[in-house]
Amino acid sequence: MPFERVLPISQLREILGFAYKVVVETDEPIIVQRYSRQDVALVPLWEWRFLKELEERVKAGDFSSQEELDDADEVDE
């Protein structure tokens, strides 16, 4: 599994602007931890939109193979 940047919510409150900039510039998510739970991630908006579109396609039965995923990757690049 790739490296995950995890920040406690108390620290994130203090550096939200910086965290925002890191996510935008690196395309790397930041996992938000509250107490011992990690339920939220800050991700680039393009990635969230891509995942939501993919989710809708899967739900609609429009997504059938790895080849389609590879084609979508090529379009984004």
Give the pLDDT confidence of 61-73 residue by residue, as tens digits.
886 666 666 766 6
Q: pLDDT for 15-33, tens place per residue?
A: 999 999 999 999 999 999 9
What are the structural domains, with CATH classification, of the chain? Answer: 5-43 (3.40.1620), 46-76 (no CATH)
pLDDT of residue 32: 98
Average pLDDT over the chain, rounded to an integer: 88
> Under a CB-based contact definition with an 8 Å cutoff, are residues 23 and 44 in contact?
yes
Q: What is the pLDDT of residue 62?
A: 80
Rounded CA gap, 5 and 65, in Å?
31
pLDDT for the residue numbered 69: 63
